[in-house]
Amino acid sequence: MTPPQYLRNIVLSSQLVAVLAQGADFSYSGEAVTTRFWDCCKPSCGWIGKADFSSPVLSCTADDAPADFAAGTGCNGGGAYQCSDQQPWAINDTLSYGFAGVYITSDLTHGAIEDAWCCACYQLDFTSEPLIGKSMIVQASNTAYDVNTASRFSLAVPGGNTTSTNACAKQYGVSQSVFGENNAGVSSSDDCDNLPENLQPGCRWRFDWFQDASYPR
């Protein structure tokens, strides 16, 4: 099946290898595509009962304190947002850690959805330039449902891709525009200086370690 045009333009087709999952049934490997997101919404894996995990993914209040697991998402009038520490960081030139909104195609999950990936960890081995030889280990904190024709990891990168909701503005008391443009995020490392301070390292990671790979020019 051919992925949509914008996914083909994003050259980050990555080879994914499951290194750790909740159960033997949920260990996958195969090809995947990646995108980026940072919408400040409560992560989808942050709800009780989403999967057979010991705890849902933490969400945070606007003060970056742990939110009650039952609290509603800041993207829909509630007070629970994406925690600022769920941003990527580099260990060295070839290895980074981070979080992702995941979708794994049903041929691999045998039809299971979030309970098949929420909180599991995956190793992404990039197979396209400029990231060949680099790997990233991500925990599935969220779900990327909007494209379901390919397995996908939407990497949580502050300022990496905003959406039309204004949850980031509400969470941080800033203009939503500091998070950049819809579907693109901020456009340079300097723009990261405008983000709330605790989000700036993950924003700069995109231009350093990640080489701004999602939107090659």
Token pair 């003060």 is found at: 63
Query: Considering beta carbons, is residue 55 or 92 the nearer one to ligand NAG?
Result: 92
Yes or no: say if 100 and 213 are a contact pair by the CB < 8 Å rule. Answer: no
Residues 167-196 that bind ligand NAG (CB under 6 A): 183-184
Task: Tell me which residues in 124-153 interact with ligand NAG (CB under 6 A).
Answer: 146
Q: Is 93 in the site for ligand NAG (CB under 6 A)?
A: yes
| CA 179 – CA 192 distance, rounded (Å) | 8
Which residue in 193, 169, 146 sits closest to 4, CA to CA? 146
Tell me the closest approach of the beta carbon of residue 178 to ligand NAG, in angstroms.
17
Lookup result for tokens 């991500």: 138
Stretch that binds ligand NAG, among 16-24, 33-41, 105-113, 121-129 (CB under 6 A): 33-41
By the rule CB under 6 A, 5 interacts with ligand NAG: no
Encoding tokens for residue 34? 């990646």
The site for ligand NAG, by CB under 6 A, has a size of: 15
Concerning whether 39 is annotated as a catalytic residue, the answer is yes
* Residue 22 found at the interface with ligand NAG (CB under 6 A): no
Half-sphere exposure of 5 (CA within 13 A, CB side): 0
**R_g over Cα of the chain:** 16
Interface stretch with ligand NAG, choices 29-37, 45-53, 56-64, 116-124 (CB under 6 A): 29-37
- Residue 91 is a binding residue for ligand NAG (CB under 6 A): yes
Residue 1 or 48 with smaller CB distance to ligand NAG: 1
Q: Say whether the peptide bond before residue 130 is cis (omega within 30 degrees of 0).
A: yes
Angle at 141 between CA 139 and CA 146, to 5 degrees: 115
> Which of 14, 82, 96, 214 is close enough to bind ligand NAG by CB under 6 A?
214
Rounded to whole angstroms, how far apart are CA atoms 128 and 143?
24
Cβ proximity to ligand NAG: between 50 and 134 the closer is 134
The helix/strand/coil state of 61 is coil
Q: Which residues lie across from 181 on neighbouring strands? A: 185
> Does residue 37 bind ligand NAG (CB under 6 A)?
yes
Residues designated as active site = 39
Q: Which residues lie near ligand NAG (CB under 6 A)?
A: 6, 35-37, 91-95, 146, 161, 183-184, 214-215
